[in-house]
Structure 1
Amino acid sequence: MNRARKVTGLAARGVALAAAFAAAAAPPYAAFAQDAQPQPAPAPAAAPAPAGLSESVAAVVNDDIISTYDLAQRMRLLIATSGIQPTQQNIGQFQREALISLVDEHLQIQELRSQEKQQKMSIVASDEDVNEELAEMARGNNMSPDQFARSLVGQGIGINTLKDQIRAQVSWQRWIRGRYGSRLRVGEDQVKAVQQRMEAAASKPQYQISEVFIDANRVGGPEAALSGANQLVTQMQQGAPFPAVARQFSASATAANGGDAGWITAGEMAPEVDAALEQMRPGQLSQPIPVRDGVYIIFLRDKRSGANASVVHLKQAAVALPQTATEGQIAAATATLETLRGQLTGGCGDIEAKAAKVNGVVAGDLGEAEIKDLAPAFRTAVETLQPGQVSGPIRTGAGLHILAVCAKRAGGAEAITPEQIESRLFGQQLSMIARRYMRDLRTSATIETR
């Protein structure tokens, strides 16, 4: 069932240019703690080394040197693209992430150069490839390539800093997919096994999520992963965009899509994630969730009922009545709603328009809800009604109501196709291979940080 798959360009990572930071710094990293408006640059040239910050060696990766200027530049790029405001508390995390990324990219380029010699073929992305990615990024930000480059320079980021990142990422993605993608086989038995698990879980709620996964092996262990995740949660609670954070910090295959993992069912994620999702509401950001290999941060975008649930879409018209209302007041409200009910020719469709013409009656759309979650009086009435029908008056502590049933349906959603399952499994396997490959490169390399 192996099929050709489209390779998503690096521009899907979507460089965000909302934050601007000064190019010069007095003490190291002082510039990152101050907001500043970007200044127009005369040309898209590389930014000069920050004044007052002498360049020295930050790390050595085998025989390659990463300078403190390289590190400061990558930190600026990371800050500008993540949407996270730099503070004294998180600047260390930016420095660690920037250094880890630079080390990984040096290892990747070294490995690819070695493979080029062995296989006598070009593997590393060309300048033309990199410029195409830059142009796509510029279009995504409604800019021309020159405007895009000047915007970066105005934030103290040399264009070559972004080009180096693009070159490493594009080259590595192509190499992993080219070397291993053609060898991977997602068998029909694997697809059927997933389908069977999904059918068995069809009655369970389904969740539409975005994810950030901090790989403990990449960042220096479980404690470092948990500490970094806590800082990211704090920043997102303060307004940092989840997709931008995912693109820059997540080790998951979904990072290129801003962490979008789509709809999942219980059992597809680690048990710790499943347990957290059960307690979350749509629109909620989780606290860090430690798992075996790292830490997850989950944003629950939406939730829907399982296939065994019944979902109803309701509108109502109501007369407010206190619990102390007299029998005469209740009788008058009942007569008013019964009269309105007799005028409803379109059921759910015209209840709001007709109710607006009756003094003392308020109408509104209650939206969708599972029947089992309705208030007992509403649930009893709705269970026997069909779409287009209207209930008789229902007494509650707030007043007297009539309910119009707009629609009824079984919960859940259409089953995912075998092709979608295969694509998801393929992506998961390829991501696992890439992570293992990088782990082996780090293990065998000589890396010295200073």
Structure 2
Amino acid sequence: MVSLIRIRMRTVLAGLALVAAAVLVPVAPAKAQVVALVNGEPITALDVAHRTRLLTLMNQGRSPDRKSVLEELIDERLKLREAKKFGAVPSDSEVDSAFGNIASRANMSTAQFGQMLSAQGSNERSFKDRLRAEIAWGGLVRARYKVIAQVGDNDVAAALSARKQEVPQRITEYTLRTVVFVVPRGASDATYDARRREAEALRGRFQSCDDGFAIARGMKEVVVRNSVRKASADLTPALRELLNSTPDGKLTPPERTAAGVEVVAVCSRREVAGQTAVMNEVRQELVSERLQSQAKRYMAELRRAALIEYR
């Protein structure tokens, strides 16, 4: 598991393929009337409209209700206010760098990514505001609750005992990276077939993870996701068989998914002690759970102390 900020950032990264392929639909402008005040700082109807469209793109076209969007914006203001108190607000360069990394993973320049957000009824500012708040909040939570979130061996052993999980002596740990040939929602089977042929062509040219991703990024509407590690014990037998039959540095056969057509690069694998791997995984899960729990309490404290006025 990753830290709280990385977990939250996954939410942002998970919608990139769909963001890159979204159909450009004109959105009626919202009025800029103030809909809430947070310690005197306004949130406007336009802020809500921009954030709603952004979250809709990130959630595969599912539009959130207005109340949840407004509450997210209120929490965002409180996070940044708290970060400012401790001098922990991320700099513009740090936010710009994070924004650039996300755009790059969507196979776009930062200018193209910003233009696409605007065309979809959101904007670059709303996206960066969200990034800035999440980066700041993750740092605050980790710093404030570092000691509380520590997990000892006894805690891990107790969690394993409660799960009654059988631990293999040895497991294989794979380093994987997914390449998505983006297909817009509602596209025809012929479009999927064309993208599948492109994926097969990439498989033929893909000789290693060192060089293959550069080829993939040069293709039209292709997204290369972050690398992940997967333990064989966590995979289905069919997926284990597929990965075991794919040599290191090669791609799995194309598969149709909600985002389009995907292939998975098997970059490396290693044998590790089953007990050690499972204990590390459980430890990370427990740390993440504790941080999330404390983060909720922290936000509840900030809300109780804040002056929030709905209009």
Report the TM-score range of the alignment, normalised by the length of the smaller protein: 0.5 to 0.7
Structure 2 distance, partners of 1:71, 1:6, is: 25
1:97 and 2:95 matched: no
2:296 is matched with 435
Alpha-carbon displacement from aligned partner over 1:361-381 (angstroms, at most 9, x marks no partner): xxxxxxxxxxxxxxxxxxxxx
Structure 2 distance, partners of 1:149, 1:113, is: 26
Structure 2 distance, partners of 1:6, 1:62, is: 26
Change (3 A) 1:302 1:448: farther
Per-residue deviation, 1:303:
6.1
Per-residue deviation, 1:423:
1.5
Change (3 A) 1:76 1:448: same
- Secondary structure class of the residue paired with 1:181: coil
2:205 is matched with none
Contact residue 117 and residue 123 of structure 2 kept, 8 A: yes
Change (3 A) 1:113 1:6: closer
Q: From 68, 73, 79, give the equivalent of 2:56.
A: 79
Structure 2 distance, partners of 1:168, 1:432, is: 18
Q: Tell me the matched-pair count.
A: 212
Structure 2 distance, partners of 1:125, 1:177, is: 15
2:191 is matched with none
2:256 is matched with none
The within-5 A match list for 1:296-375 is: none
Structure 2 gap ranges (5+) = 168-184, 187-224, 242-272
- Secondary structure class of the residue paired with 2:97: helix
Q: Which 10-residue stretch deviates more, 68-77 or 10-19?
A: 10-19
Structure 1 distance, partners of 2:122, 2:5, is: 28
- Secondary structure class of the residue paired with 2:128: helix
Change (3 A) 1:5 1:95: closer
Q: From 55, 60, 83, give the equivalent of 2:32.
A: 55
- Secondary structure class of the residue paired with 1:59: strand
TM-score where L is the length of structure 1: 0.42
TM-score where L is the length of structure 2: 0.59
| Aligned residue type for 1:65 | P
Contact residue 11 and residue 133 of structure 1 kept, 8 A: no
Structure 2 distance, partners of 1:184, 1:162, is: 29
| Aligned residue type for 1:434 | A
| Aligned residue type for 2:302 | L
- Secondary structure class of the residue paired with 2:37: strand
Structure 1 gap ranges (5+) = 26-49, 87-92, 117-121, 204-237, 240-256, 266-300, 305-312, 314-412
Per-residue deviation, 1:9:
8.4
Structure 1 distance, partners of 2:156, 2:7, is: 27
Per-residue deviation, 1:157:
1.8
Alpha-carbon displacement from aligned partner over 1:171-204 (angstroms, at most 9, x marks no partner): 1011111222255321221112123223x3549x
| Aligned residue type for 2:6 | T
Structure 2 distance, partners of 1:83, 1:160, is: 21
The within-5 A match list for 1:368-447 is: 414-415=274-275, 416-447=277-308
Alpha-carbon displacement from aligned partner over 1:345-365 (angstroms, at most 9, x marks no partner): xxxxxxxxxxxxxxxxxxxxx
1:157 and 2:157 matched: no
2:6 is matched with 8
- Secondary structure class of the residue paired with 1:112: helix
The within-5 A match list for 1:105-254 is: 105-114=76-85, 116=86, 122-198=87-163, 200-202=164-166
| Aligned residue type for 1:446 | L
The within-5 A match list for 1:216-295 is: none
Aligned CA RMSD, in angstroms, stands at: 3.5
Contact residue 34 and residue 44 of structure 2 kept, 8 A: yes
Structure 2 distance, partners of 1:154, 1:7, is: 28
| Aligned residue type for 2:38 | V
Structure 2 distance, partners of 1:106, 1:124, is: 12
Contact residue 61 and residue 446 of structure 1 kept, 8 A: yes
